[in-house]
Amino acid sequence: MKFSACIEWLFAAEATYFADRIRLAKEAGLDAVEFWSWSNKDLDAVAAALRETGLPLAAILCEPKAPLTDPAAHETFLGSVRASAAVAARLGAPVIIAQAGNLLAGRLRSEQHAAIVSVLREAAQVLSGTGVTLGLEPLNDRVDHPGYFLTSTAEGLEIIDAVGSPHVRLVYDIYHAAVMDEPIDLLEGRLDRVAHVHLADRPGRNQPGSGTLDYAERLKWLADQGYDGFVGLEYRPTVPTLESLKFREFVQ
């Protein structure tokens, strides 16, 4: 299993200077790094640290964020796709992560689902030839993202299939899916739709082993099914980051 450190949280206590977190991830034996917003980062420093360490950048966010559920925001979103894809290409990141936005009051859910499919089809055209994939991420609305539209992996897969492009795939977050009580075998036979995976324990969204999630079994299931991409460690460590990484000893 290849692990990517989300350096928004991992190594944050150990290094105030953002680019130094990349160096610490390399020293810890991690396989890649990822982060959220790129617009507030010193991208020259990030690029230099990536070159120095040889670590790949697994993913960044598509920003500025815009609700895919709202057709009035679609032009803004497509501008975000263009800008973020350019940054991703510069830094070597294969994935930009987008979120669906909140459920809009007064509009049919089916209309909002269709709006997401429509704009992602346009995004796929924007991304053609860039080498960058957009990853749509379902999130939980029970703890972390109340009001969020796309809480279901099953619906996420329906959207990806309706878009019908290899440039638009799914981000599968083990933590969010577990909070929503979704079994991982929803992905059986459909892992080709998954661009990236995230991991944190439940409850708390802390390091694996801090809660009750059967993370090792879920990671094994992914490996057995042929997933060979990165697993992004998107958790808030409650202990020093190096100590939080000890869970890797229990992962085959």
Confidence of residue 250 (pLDDT cuts 50, 70, 90): confident
For 109-153, the three-class secondary structure string (H helix, E strand, C coil) is: HHHHHHHHHHHHHHHHHHHCCCCCEEEECCCCCCCCCCCECCCCH
Residue 252 has pLDDT above 80, yes or no: no
Q: What is the CATH number of the domain that holds 232?
A: 3.20.20.150
pTM of full prediction above 0.95 = yes
Q: Output the pLDDT for position 158.
A: 98
Give residue-wise pLDDT tens across range 36-78. 999 999 999 999 999 999 999 999 999 999 999 999 999 999 9
- From CA 142, how far away is CA 164, in angstroms rounded? 30
Percent of the chain with pLDDT over 70: 100
* 131's tokens: 């080498």
DSSP annotation string for 171-197 = EEEHHHHHHTT--GGGGTT-GGGEEEE
- Phi, psi (5° rounding) for residue 148? -70, 145
Number of domains in the chain: 1
Percent of the chain with pLDDT over 90: 99
Contact 119, 149 (CB under 8 A): no
Residue 90 has pLDDT above 80, yes or no: yes
Query: What does pLDDT average to over the chain?
Result: 97
Q: How many Cα atoms are found within 13 Å in the side-chain-facing hemisphere of 7?
A: 32
Give residue-wise pLDDT tens across range 138-168. 999 999 999 999 999 999 999 999 999 999 9
Give residue-wise pLDDT tens across range 204-229. 999 999 999 999 999 999 999 999 99
- From CA 229, how far away is CA 84, in angstroms rounded? 21
b or e along 111-145 (b: 16 or more beta carbons within 10 Å of the residue's beta carbon)?
A: ebbebbbebbeebbebbeeeebbbbbbbbbbeeeb
- Rounded to 5°, the CA angle 252-175-56 comes to 60
| Domain region containing 174 | 2-250
- Phi, psi (5° rounding) for residue 159? -65, -45
